A and B are shown apart, each in its own frame.
Chain A
Amino acid sequence: MKLFLCVQLFLAVSLSRAAVSPDCLMCKWPLIPEMSQDGPENACEDLFGAACLKPNGERKFSNVEEELLSEADAMIQTARAEALRTMGYKSTNDAVIGELRRAGIELESIDAANSSATNNDPFSIDGRNFTMSKQCADGLSHVRTQLPKGDSEEVVAQRVKMYLEFHKKKKEDLAKVYALDIPNYMSYVDSQCVSFQGNSSLYPPQSNRSMTVFCSKILQMQREAVELFRQADSAQYSTLAEQFVKKYPVPLLENMAPKSNESIHSYLLRREKALYSAVDCSEVYTAVSSGAKAVLENLNEKLMTSQPAVDYILRFAYSSERQRQLEAMTANVRANSEILARNYGSNPSVQEKMTSDFRNLQVWWPQGFSNSDYVKDPQTGLMVLNPDKLDMTEAGIFLDPNMQHFKDFNAYNSPEFHIGETRIANHVNMQPFMLQLMQKSPFYVYAVLAHEFGHNFDPNRIQHAGYQGMEAQYSDLMACYKDSRSINMQRGQEGEVFSDYVAAEMIASEVNKLPPSMRRRAAISSIAGFCMMESLSGNKIEFGEHPITMLRISGVLGANPSLRKMLGCSGDSSKYKSCGMPTSILDMNAQSPANSTPQEEQEQDSVEM
C-alpha cells in the first residue's frame, strides 16, 4: 500500500513539474490544508460555500483565524517584553506591578495582577484591585464601627466630624494619585464646580462655603496647572504635581442646608444621614484606576517606540523572507497591471500614464531606523524613536501604542497626498496581519495585492489620477454589476467591485500557469482569505463600500468568466450574471504564444457541475 502511494506521489510530482510554466509564480506555493479537503463543494454555483464553508455549514477557517489573531497578539506582547527586559523586568506582570508601585499605586495582590479579568493582557488594568481601594473601604468600615453611639447633639456632631475627617484624609491620600494625571484632575475639578454652580438648589451655597471659595479660584488653578504641565518632562514634576493637588483639594459637595426654624440637632441628624452615603470610596477606585491607566499608557508609549520592541517587530512582521515573497508577487502584479493598463486605457496617452503610474506604485516596506533616529527617554532609560526627526509613514505605525497597524487584517492603496511639507507617494500598504498569511496562503496575499493595484485605476480614482475618458471604458462593466442579476452593486461600491474584478483577472491569469490538476484548488485558495476578512476584521469592514462577502466571492469572483475557466466551470453561473471587460488578461496572454503551455489545452479540467 505504502509503495503504491509512493509511486502515485512520484508520478503526481513529476507530472506537475512537467506542466509548470516557466514564469509560474504560484507553482511553489503550498495549498492551505483546508483547501485539500474537497468535500461536497460546488464552486461553479456556490463559490462562497466552496471556499468558506465546511460541508456541515461551519466556517472553514476558524482555526486559521484564531492562529493569526494569537500570532499578532503574541508579537506585540513579545515586543513589549523585549523592551521591559532592557529595563530590568523579568516579565510584563512584574513591570506593571513595579511601575505602578513607583508611581505610588499598589495592586491589591500579585494574584490580582494575574487575574483572568485582565483578559490575559497583563498591561490591562481592567479587573485589577488596588490596595488604596481596599484601604479606603477598610478605613471607612473602621470609622463606622468607631462612631460614638447616642442621639445627643454633641454625639451626632462628633459623628459628622469623624466623617468629614475621614473624607479629608482620603483626599490627602489621593493627592499622589491625582497628581499622576493633572489634565484629568483639572477636568474633575471643572466638573465638580459646574455641578455645584449649576445646581444651587441641590447643593446650597450656604452649606458649601469652601466649595464656593474653591470654585472662585478655578482660573488661578487652571493657570497654575498649565504652567505645571509644561514641566511634565522635568525631574521634579511629580513632586510639584502632588503639591499642586494638595494645595487645591476638592471640597466635599454637601446637598443640604439648615431649614428655617430647624434646630441644629435636627440639621446635624440630617447631615449625618447625607454624609453616610456621600462619604464613600467610589472616588478612590476611579482616581486610582485613572492614574494607573495614565502611568501604563505613558509606559506603553515608550515601550512600543523603543529600540528593542521596534527591532523585534521589524524582524518578525517585516522579515526578509516575507519581503522577498512580496517583491516577487509585486513584480508579477505590476506586470499584469501594465498589461491591463495598455488594454483598458482609453487612448495611448492614458495608457502610457497608467503604465507609468503602475511602474511608480510602491508597495510600502519599512526601511528600518538608525541609532540616530532614537533618543534616550529619561524616565525609562530606553532608546525611543524621536518623532520629530522621523517620517510619519515610517515611524507612525510604532507611535500608536495600540499598535493598530499590526492588528488590522487589511491592506490599502493610498493615492499621492501632501500633509504640510510632507509628500506621501502613491503606495500600497499590505498590513502585517495580512502578511502573516504569506506562509499559510500566499494565494490570498496575491489576491489582495492584485485588488490593491486595481484601485489605482478604479472608477473612483480615474478622475483624481487624470485618466481622461475612462468612464466610457468602464460603463458596460459597471452597468453589468449594477444589474440585479449580478450583485446589484450600490452607488459608492464601484471602486471595490472593480478592484475585485481586477483581482479575479490576475488570479485567473496566474492560476492558468499551474498544472491543471492544481488550478481549481489554487483558485479557491486565492479567494479563501475573503472568507476570513469578515470575521477577522470584526465589524470594522465598511460594508457601505464593499458588497457583502458572499456577493464579492460568488457574484464578482465566482461569476468572472476567466476565473470560472480556472475553476473548471462551463458557461455562466446560473445565479450571477457574468461581468467582464471585453478582453481579459487570459485572452491577452493567449494571443502571446510565449505565455501558453502546450499541456494547458490538453489538460483543461473537466467541467464541474
Chain B
Amino acid sequence: MKTMLLFFILMTQAAHAKPATQQTVLLTADYQTKKLRHSYILKKSESKKTQYTLTLKQKGKKDLVRVVSAHQAESWKTQATRLIWRSEYVRKPASGGKRRCHSYVKLVSFKNKSAICHENKLVAQLSYGLLNQMKDAF
C-alpha cells in the first residue's frame, strides 16, 4: 500500500512538473589569455515566462549567473552581431604579407561567429567595451 502511495505521489509530482524549458544561446564571448579565461554566455529560456540569463564562467572559479532584462540581452546580442560582421566582412586594406591574428575574444551569436583579432584594433576595442558591459552585470 505504501509503495502504491509513493508511486502515486511521484506520478502526481511528475505530472505537475514544470513545463519543458526551451533554452536558446543568444551569445557567447570567450576571452582567453595565458592566465585568464572568461566566458560569458547569454541565454534565453522560454517556458511559461521568458527569462534571459548571463553566465560568467571563469577558470578555476564557480560560475556566476545573473538574470538580465530582455532589452539588455537584445542590446548585447545585436552589438555582438555587428562586431562579428565588422570583424569578418569589412574589407581590409590590401597588404602583401600574410595577415596575423592574435585572438582577443571569440564571439558567437547564432550562425555568426568570429575570432576578434588584436590586430583589428578598432573592433577589438569595441569588443572590450561589450565585455565590460557584460562584466558590469556581476
A interface residue numbers (CB < 8 A to B): 126, 181-184, 187, 190-191, 194, 226, 229-230, 232, 286, 290, 293-294, 297, 301, 387-388, 390, 392, 395-396, 399-402, 404, 419-422, 538-540, 544
**Could you tell me the distance in whole angstroms from the C-beta of A400 to the nearest C-beta in chain B?**
4
Report B35-49 CB contacts with A as 1/0, cut-off 8 Å: 000000000000000
Which one, A184, A400, A419, A421, contacts B125 given CB within 8 A? A400
In the complex, A286→B78 CA distance in Å? 11
List the B side residues contacting A187 at CB < 8 Å. 77-78, 81, 109-110, 112
Report B82-111 CB contacts with A as 1/0, cut-off 8 Å: 101100011101000000101000000111
**Could you tell me the distance in whole angstroms from the C-beta of B21 to the nearest C-beta in chain A?**
16
Indicate whether B75 reaches chain A with its CB closer than 8 angstroms.
yes
List the B side residues contacting A404 at CB < 8 Å. 128-129, 132
List the B side residues contacting A232 at CB < 8 Å. 90
Which one, B90, B118, B128, contacts A230 given CB within 8 A? B90
**Could you tell me the distance in whole angstroms from the C-beta of A562 to the nearest C-beta in chain B?**
32
The closest CB in chain B to the CB of A300 belongs to B129
The closest CB in chain B to the CB of A418 belongs to B102
A-B pair count, CB < 8 Å, reads 85
Q: Is the interface of A mostly helix, strand, loop or mixed?
A: helix
List the B side residues contacting A392 at CB < 8 Å. 118, 121, 124-125
In the complex, A191→B121 CA distance in Å? 30
Decide: A229 and B61 in contact? CB cutoff 8 A.
no
The closest CB in chain A to the CB of B91 belongs to A230
List the B side residues contacting A388 at CB < 8 Å. 93, 121
Decide: B82 and A181 in contact? CB cutoff 8 A.
yes
The closest CB in chain B to the CB of A460 belongs to B35
Decide: B79 and A297 in contact? CB cutoff 8 A.
yes
Q: With A226-B89, A395-B121, A538-B136 known to touch, is A420 a contact of B100 (CB < 8 Å)?
A: yes
Decide: B132 and A419 in contact? CB cutoff 8 A.
no
**Could you tell me the distance in whole angstroms from the C-beta of B66 to the nearest C-beta in chain A?**
10
The closest CB in chain A to the CB of B66 belongs to A539
Decide: A419 and B136 in contact? CB cutoff 8 A.
no
Q: Is the interface of B mostly helix, strand, loop or mixed?
A: helix
**Could you tell me the distance in whole angstroms from the C-beta of B75 to the nearest C-beta in chain A?**
7
Indicate whether B74 reaches chain A with its CB closer than 8 angstroms.
yes
List the A side residues contacting B61 at CB < 8 Å. 544
The closest CB in chain A to the CB of B92 belongs to A388
Contacting A at CB under 8 A, from B53-69, are 61
Q: With A183-B84, A232-B90 known to touch, is A420 a contact of B102 (CB < 8 Å)?
A: yes
Q: With A301-B126, A396-B125, A544-B61 known to touch, is A294 a contact of B82 (CB < 8 Å)?
A: yes
Q: With A293-B78, A387-B125 known to touch, is A420 a contact of B119 (CB < 8 Å)?
A: yes
List the A side residues contacting B75 at CB < 8 Å. 293
B interface residue numbers (CB < 8 A to A): 61, 71, 74-75, 77-79, 81-82, 84-85, 89-91, 93, 100, 102, 109-112, 118-119, 121-122, 124-126, 128-129, 132-133, 135-136, 138
List the B side residues contacting A191 at CB < 8 Å. 110
In the complex, A400→B129 CA distance in Å? 5
In the complex, A38→B121 CA distance in Å? 51
Decide: B138 and A402 in contact? CB cutoff 8 A.
no
Q: With A293-B75, A297-B79, A399-B125 known to touch, is A419 a contact of B118 (CB < 8 Å)?
A: yes
In the complex, A232→B88 CA distance in Å? 13
Decide: B111 and A190 in contact? CB cutoff 8 A.
yes
Which one, A182, A390, A539, contacts B138 given CB within 8 A? A539
15 residue pairs from A and B, CB less than 8 Å apart: A184-B82, A190-B110, A194-B110, A232-B90, A293-B78, A388-B93, A392-B124, A392-B125, A396-B121, A402-B133, A419-B118, A420-B100, A420-B119, A540-B135, A540-B138
Decide: A290 and B78 in contact? CB cutoff 8 A.
yes
> Which 3 pairs, one residue from A and one from B, show the smallest C-beta to C-beta distance?
A399-B125, A183-B85, A387-B121
The closest CB in chain A to the CB of B58 belongs to A544
In the complex, A387→B74 CA distance in Å? 28
Which one, B122, B132, B133, contacts A399 given CB within 8 A? B122
Which one, A183, A301, A396, contacts B81 given CB within 8 A? A183
Decide: B121 and A402 in contact? CB cutoff 8 A.
no
**Could you tell me the distance in whole angstroms from the C-beta of A240 to the nearest C-beta in chain B?**
15
List the A side residues contacting B128 at CB < 8 Å. 396, 400, 404
In the complex, A232→B81 CA distance in Å? 15
In the complex, A395→B124 CA distance in Å? 12
In the complex, A184→B112 CA distance in Å? 10
In the complex, A126→B71 CA distance in Å? 9
List the B side residues contacting A190 at CB < 8 Å. 110-111
In the complex, A32→B89 CA distance in Å? 53
**Could you tell me the distance in whole angstroms from the C-beta of A375 to the nearest C-beta in chain B?**
12
List the A side residues contacting B129 at CB < 8 Å. 400-402, 404
List the B side residues contacting A294 at CB < 8 Å. 78, 82
List the A side residues contacting B78 at CB < 8 Å. 181, 184, 187, 290, 293-294
List the B side residues contacting A402 at CB < 8 Å. 129, 132-133
**Could you tell me the distance in whole angstroms from the C-beta of B136 to the nearest C-beta in chain A?**
7
In the complex, A230→B90 CA distance in Å? 5
**Could you tell me the distance in whole angstroms from the C-beta of B106 to the nearest C-beta in chain A?**
16
Q: With A183-B112, A387-B125, A402-B133 known to touch, is A229 a contact of B119 (CB < 8 Å)?
A: no
Decide: B90 and A401 in contact? CB cutoff 8 A.
no
**Could you tell me the distance in whole angstroms from the C-beta of A306 to the nearest C-beta in chain B?**
14
Decide: A400 and B79 in contact? CB cutoff 8 A.
no
The closest CB in chain B to the CB of A392 belongs to B121
List the B side residues contacting A183 at CB < 8 Å. 81-82, 84-85, 112
In the complex, A284→B111 CA distance in Å? 24
Which one, B119, B126, B138, contacts A401 given CB within 8 A? B126
From B84, B91, B102, B121, residue with most partner A Cβ within 10 Å: B121
Decide: A400 and B118 in contact? CB cutoff 8 A.
no
The closest CB in chain B to the CB of A391 belongs to B121
From A187, A294, A540, residue with most partner B Cβ within 10 Å: A187
List the B side residues contacting A390 at CB < 8 Å. 121
4 A-B pairs besides A392-B118, A404-B129 with CB distance below 8 A are A183-B81, A187-B77, A229-B89, A544-B61
